[in-house]
Amino acid sequence: MTVNYKSVFDIIGPIMIGPSSSHTAGACAIGRAANSIFKDKPTEIVIHYYESFAQTHKGHGTDYAIISGVLGFDPDDSRVPYAIGLARDQGITITFIEEAGDSPIKHPNTAIVDLENDSKKVTVAGCSIGGGTIEIREIKMDGFDIKPKGPLPILLVQGGENDHQNVTKQLADLTKVNDQQRYQTARGNMYEYDLDRRLKHEEITKLAENHTTMVYL
Amino acid sequence: MYMSIAELVSASMTQHQPVYELMIAQEMATSNCTREEVWHTMGRNLDVMEAAVKKGAAGDGVYSTTGLTGGEAVLLKKYRQTGHTLSGDVMMQAVQNAISTNEVNAAMGVVCATPTAGSTGTLPGVVFALQDRLDLTRDQMIQFLFTAGAYGMVIANNASIAGATGGCQAEVGSASAMGAAAAVEIAGGTAEQSAEALAMAISNLLGLVCDPVAGLVELPCVKRNAIGVSNALIAADMALAGCTNKIPADEVIMAMDKVGKGLPRALRETGLGGLAATPTAIRMEEKIFGKAQAKA
């Protein structure tokens, strides 16, 4: 059994702007994940919707929610319903595509987010599994094609064996690592750690001190 | 982490602890937070629920931008004031709270998703009606939410709480079951009775489809929360009376998961089947979005 709901606040919560936890708060969370990975301001956002997301995104406020996440808003931020206008005011081009086929990551609530600017491009495939909780099942960044199992939290660290040893040691004091993978390209390694529990803000900050390009989802 | 209702009930019985205490202990362990921190967070959730319960029933009420829903919590409030409701005032107060919360949700207001936004009115509907009925303190209401969360986590991790995966039974059905189990505990029942209430609540809503008109979380979602609260209170009362479901809670949850997976896609939050495919719903959709999307 996959344990996606690790906290009581995944069930009683989140506090959010309506109307749908899967299609609004969850969409916001997928956008936020893409924002955490991109770590910069995009000039172009392309959202691909599949299945239930493709059929009902307009009615569920999925469009403004996912853009609000890309802008880094929390799901209960009062600016959430106005996110598309706010993004366009910043000169960001936004495209929504309703894909006809089945979800490539095999979930009815799927959104694939492409973020791009002059210096980089990332692709994040997420699905919203209910109650605002999401999974991230594919990330394309810096030449890496990362395919996590899905459940969060996920930690991504670029670097060498030393960095891996260092992170492993730090994580050992914090939580169990349920799964880990290494991805290799000519430019280096990417280490993925699937963590057993969500880290607290100060724990993430401490980890990031030695790994400035680290991504915590 | 408690993975089944049986484990949760057995731990509560053997440790002589209410389920909310087990939930608080588990949350502290998994989040590395203090008791005060998790208690405070739950208190904030309760405050957001209370604000939505009040907002939807205040003044002329709230209305969604589409005009499909709104103002009915106020109608219920006025109707209750006549003193002649058929199902009694506790029930109708619970219904009013639920409708009010979901009207706020449909109007893009702030809610606490429990377990989802589509089913957001069910749990507040129950707890704020019981606040008056049982004279609950704020602390007891927070305990209620921890209990509901404990049972909800088991449902979510073993089945689903998404309409797109499991239909409305996964959303309002789960919320109703959580409310039923927590209502039993706060009323002084045992964990075994909570499990029976949960099993009866889900059993009663098994197969409920997710068919949002125009893909909006309005029709029939808002009123489905009325059935969520009433079913929760009825299941809780039956369990407190000593009625049992005969099919154990964990098996009921597995059945819900299987039923959800067996539902056709048109009835899993695509807006393509059920009420969403009726002529009136299609006309509404055309009026709101300009053109009808293809219907299956």
Please tell me whether residue B175 adopts helix, strand or coil conformation. Answer: helix
* Per-block mean pLDDT, blocks of 10 residues, chain B (296 long): 97 98 96 96 98 98 96 98 96 98 96 97 98 98 98 97 95 98 98 98 98 95 98 98 98 98 96 97 93 48
Q: How many CA atoms lie within 13 A of B200 on its CB side?
A: 27
Q: Which of residues 145-164 of B touch A (CB under 8 A)?
A: 145-146, 148-150, 152-153, 156-158, 160-164
For the segment A62-81, the average pLDDT, to the nearest whole number, is: 96
* Averaged pLDDT of chain A: 95
pTM for the whole thing?
0.94
> Who among A25, A55, A61 is closest to B270 (CB)?
A55
Burial (Cβ within 10 Å: 0-12, 13-18, ≥19) of residue B228: buried
Provide the 3-class DSSP secondary structure of residue A97: strand
Please report the ipTM that was assigned to this predicted complex.
0.96
Q: What is the pLDDT of residues B209-242, one digit of tens each?
A: 999 999 999 999 999 999 999 999 999 999 999 9
Instruction: Report pLDDT digits (tens) over A47-59.
Output: 999 999 999 998 8
A-facing residues of B in 101-140 (CB < 8 A) are 104-118, 120, 123
What is the pLDDT confidence band of residue A187, given thresholds at 50, 70 and 90? confident
Q: Does B212 touch chain A (CB under 8 A)?
A: yes
What is the per-residue pLDDT across B237-258, written as a single tens digit (0 to 9) for each?
999 999 999 999 999 999 999 9
pLDDT of A140 strictly over 70: yes
Candidates B37, B161, B221, partner chain A, best to mutate (most A CBs within 10 A) = B161
pLDDT value at position A59? 86
The structure tokens listed for B119 are 């089913």
Spatial contact of A140 and A170, defined as CB atoms under 8 Å apart: no
Residues B268, A108: C-beta atoms closer than 8 Å: yes
In one-letter notation, the amino acid at residue B155 is I
Tell the residue number behind the tokens 């807006």, with chain if given.
B271
Instruction: Please give the angle made by the CA atoms of B288, B293 and B296, to the nearest 5 degrees.
Output: 135
Nearest Cβ partner for B112 among A4, A15, A24: A15
Q: Is A62 on the interface with B (CB under 8 A)?
A: no
The SS3 assignment for A155 reads: strand
pLDDT of residue B291: 64
The pLDDT of residue A74 is above 50: yes
- Shortest CB distance from A12 goes to which of B148, B166, B171? B148
Per-residue model confidence (pLDDT) at position A2: 77
Residue type, A122: V
* CB contact at 8 A, A65 and A80: yes
d(CA B161, CA A46): 28
Burial B13-32 (b: 16+ CB within 10 A, else e): eeeeebbbbbbbebbbebbe
Q: How far is A61 from chain B (nearest CA, A)?
A: 9
Measure Cα distances from A153 to A33, A36, A198, B240 in Å: 11, 12, 6, 40
* Residues listed for chain A: 217
β pairing state of A109-116 and A133-141: unpaired
